[in-house]
Amino acid sequence: MWKEFKDFIMTGNVIDFAIAVILAGAVGLVVNGFVNDIIMPVVGHFAGGTDFSAKVIELSPAVGVEGEANYKPANAIRWGAWLNTIISLLIVGFVLFMMGKAKVRAMGAAPDPDPTADQVLLTEIRDALKK
């Protein structure tokens, strides 16, 4: 069983997938930094100096003093942070779209493969039935 597991882990697909997951995490950090540190300040500037990451709808206020025994934090809907997440999603989606277009452009259109023997036979049968 150990040998089978080792063979499975050492296949190219699993290692490629692991590398992709690690890189995706790093790209996620870069995108979050881009959205939070560059895009949202610009959006906030044009929205009258608003910091969207701090925007919340408070459902219940905090009780007590933070750090004390009976402290209860505020319960709030953080819609500003959610807006940042939506903008991150749009940026990642756009970048992936552009990468896909660049790959297709660089690789060129793949030629249509020749039909298989089964497809040729089915085409002949279809044409015979049409007559």
DSSP state of 54: G
CA distance 24 to 18: 10
Q: What is the pTM of this model?
A: 0.56
51, 67 Cβ separation under 8 angstroms: no
CA distance 82 to 88: 10
Q: What is the pLDDT of residues 108-129, one digit of tens each?
A: 767 778 889 999 999 999 999 9
**Domains defined along the chain, listed by start:** 2-130 (1.10.1200.120)
Longest dimension (CA), the chain: 89
pLDDT at residue 34, rounded to an integer? 85
Q: What is the pLDDT of residues 22-46, one digit of tens each?
A: 988 888 888 888 888 888 888 888 8
